[in-house]
Amino acid sequence: MKPFLVKTCIVLIPLSLFAALIVIDLAPSGERTASYEAGEISAFLERPLPDERVGELLQDTYYSLIGDPVYMAMHTPQTTFDSAELQVSFRPNDIAQIELGPLVDIFSGAANLQPLYQSYIEDLDWSAVEEGGVTLFQREKTYHSIASFLEQPPHYDQIATYYYDLDTPYLLDDYRPLNGMRQIYTSLRGYHKVVTYLDNETVTLNLAMMDMNRTTGPDDMRIQIWNAADELAWEGQFDDDGNESENQISDARDVELVIETAGWPEGVYHIEFVATSDIFIREIETSLRYFTFVNQLYIGDDVGYLIDGRGSSFSTNARNIVVETFHAEADDVIQFGSDLISIPSTHEKVYASLDQDGLIRGVVDVGGIKIVGDGKFAFTEDAFFDPDPHAIGPLSDLDGLGIDYVLTSYQKATIDGDWMQNTVTFPLAGLEDEEGDIRLIFSLPFVELQNSGMDLKDIQVTFLREPMRWIDWPRRLLKYLPGV
C-alpha cells in the first residue's frame, strides 16, 4: 500500500504543480499581478535606466530619478492581456510634473503618457466641480457644472488644460485661404507635427526630401492629417529608398501632393511627418496659410546637400526650452529674442527659461540643432497659429498667464505614509518590440531646471482582460499541448 501511495504522490505532485502554473498563466479571473521593488529582481519589470539619469539605490528602498526621460523594460505574460494598470509608490520632492506610459512609436519617440503627479493641480485651492472623472477648477465660481462651462465657455486665453481636450470646436470667423504658396528653405530632420486650419480648400504640399542613410535600417515616411476629433483624414506612405545601410549615400526625391479637402469639417487640423532621423525635408512649398510646428523643431544640418550650411530664423511662444546640437558644425550660441543660449558641446541638453513678452524670434546660423519647448514654432509670423488653450506644464505660471479656469482629467495622488501613490492604465496592443518587451517611459520634463529628482520605491502591475468563461478553457488549454 505504501509503495502505491508513494508512486501516486510522485506522479500527482508534479502534475498538481504543473496544473497550478497553468492556472496562474491562464489567469481565469482576467487579472495577473506582479510587483517591482527598487533594488529587487522582478519577472516583469527591469530596473530604471540609463544610469546617468538614475541615482544609486538609497536606503535599500528607492532610486532617485534625476534626468528625463527614464526608461524601464516591461515583460508581458505568455497569456494575452488587453491592458496594464501600474500603481506607483513615489516621492515627487520638488518635481512639478511626472508622467508615465509606454513608448508607442519608435520613429517619433511618441509615448502614451499618463499623469502620475502634477504639483499645481495638487495644490490648487480654487472652487472645483467634478463630473465623470473630469474636474473644472475656477478662480471665482461662475459655472455650476462642466456642461454649462462647455456650452458657454470663456475666452480661450482664460483656460488652461491638463490631460483634457476641449470638445468645443475652434473656428475662425475671418479665415481666408492663402491663395498662394509659401516656402520654407530650412532642413527639417525626422519627426515633426504641424498645426494648421482648413476650410474647404485644395491643399498643395511639395517636399524636397533626402534619405541620408546615416544609420542602419529602413527609412520609410508617413504623412498623416488628423482632424480636430483626432480622426485620420488623409495618409500617404513613402517607402525606403532601398538602401538600408549606413554608408551615407543619400537619395533625393521630390514629393508633390495635392489633397482635396471638400467635405472635410472646417477647423483645426494636424499634419504629422512620421520619419526616422535619416529623413531630411530640405524644402517645403505649401498653400496652407498656417504652418506651425508643435513643441519642437529639429533643424537638420546641410552636410551632403549644400556646400555651405544655411541659417534659420523662427518665431515661438515657448517660454521654457531645451536645446541640443548633434553636429560638430552646429551653433554653440543660439539667439532667442534678447537671450543668448550657449551650448558647450554636442549631445548635451541645455535648459533655459525665456522671460519675454509676445512671440520671440529665434536665430541659428547653421543646422544640426534640436529645439524642444512648451509652445509652438513657425518660420514666419504670418504662418504662426496657436488654437490651443494653455497646456499646464511643470513651469506654468497660472497667475502670470491670466488663467481663471482649469480643466483636467488628472486624479490627485493618495498619501501612504512618507510616500505618494497614483495609478496609470494603458492598452497593450501593438506595444511590444521585436524581443516581446514594452518600453515604459518616466517623463520628468525640465527636471534639470528644478534641481531635484523623483524617488521611485515600487510598482504594482496588474495585467487585465475579460474573465474566462467555461467555454474558453478547451481552446486556451490547447496551447500547452506539444505540437498544437
Classify strands 320-325 and 350-353 as parallel, antiparallel or unpaired.
antiparallel
Check pLDDT > 50 for residue 20: no
- pLDDT-derived band at 1 (thresholds 50, 70, 90) equals low
Check pLDDT > 70 for residue 430: yes
pLDDT digits (tens, 9 = 90+) for 178-223: 989 999 999 999 999 999 999 999 999 999 998 888 888 888 889 9
Whether residue 67 contacts residue 445, with contact meaning beta carbons closer than 8 Å, is answered with: no
pLDDT digits (tens, 9 = 90+) for 317-348: 998 899 988 876 666 788 999 999 988 888 88
Average pLDDT for the chain: 86
Position 70 scores a pLDDT of 94
pLDDT digits (tens, 9 = 90+) for 60-88: 899 999 998 999 999 888 777 889 999 99
- pLDDT-derived band at 2 (thresholds 50, 70, 90) equals low
DSSP for 218-265 reads: ---EEEEEE-TTS-EEEEEEE---S--SSS---EEEEEEEEEE-TTSP
Check pLDDT > 90 for residue 19: no
Question: And the C-alpha cell for 33?
Answer: 499581478
Percent of the chain surpassing pLDDT 90: 50
- pLDDT-derived band at 446 (thresholds 50, 70, 90) equals confident
pTM attached to this predicted model: 0.80
Residue 269, H or E segment: strand 267-275
| Sign of the CA dihedral running 115, 116, 117, 122 | positive
Whether residue 444 contacts residue 93, with contact meaning beta carbons closer than 8 Å, is answered with: no
DSSP 93: T
- Of residues 357, 356, 379, the one with CA closest to residue 297: 379
Check pLDDT > 50 for residue 21: no
pLDDT digits (tens, 9 = 90+) for 351-371: 888 888 889 999 998 888 999
Tell me the C-alpha to C-alpha distance, in Å, between residue 329 and each of 129, 155, 210, 326.
54, 45, 20, 9
How far is Cα 337 from Cα 340, in angstroms, rounded to an integer? 8
Classify strands 419-427 and 437-443 as parallel, antiparallel or unpaired.
unpaired
Q: How confident is the model over 288-301, as a mean pLDDT?
A: 94
- pLDDT-derived band at 6 (thresholds 50, 70, 90) equals low
Position 415 scores a pLDDT of 92
The answer to which of 127-131, 184-188, 226-230 has the lowest mean pLDDT is: 226-230
Position 221 scores a pLDDT of 87
Residue 194, H or E segment: strand 192-198
Position 58 scores a pLDDT of 86
Residue 414, H or E segment: strand 414-416
| Sign of the CA dihedral running 439, 444, 446, 450 | negative
Which amino acid, 252? Answer: A
How far is Cα 26 from Cα 49, in angstroms, rounded to an integer? 31
Whether residue 362 contacts residue 336, with contact meaning beta carbons closer than 8 Å, is answered with: yes
Residues 6+ apart with CB under 8 A from 44: 34, 36, 74, 75, 76, 77, 461
Position 218 scores a pLDDT of 81
Which amino acid, 399? Answer: D
Q: How confident is the model over 297-316, as a mean pLDDT?
A: 90
Position 398 scores a pLDDT of 87
Q: How confident is the model over 111-126, as a mean pLDDT?
A: 93
pLDDT digits (tens, 9 = 90+) for 450-464: 778 899 999 999 998
For the chain, what is the radius of gyration of the CA atoms? Answer: 26
Structural domains in the chain plus CATH codes? 31-106+414-464 (2.60.120.1620), 182-388 (no CATH)
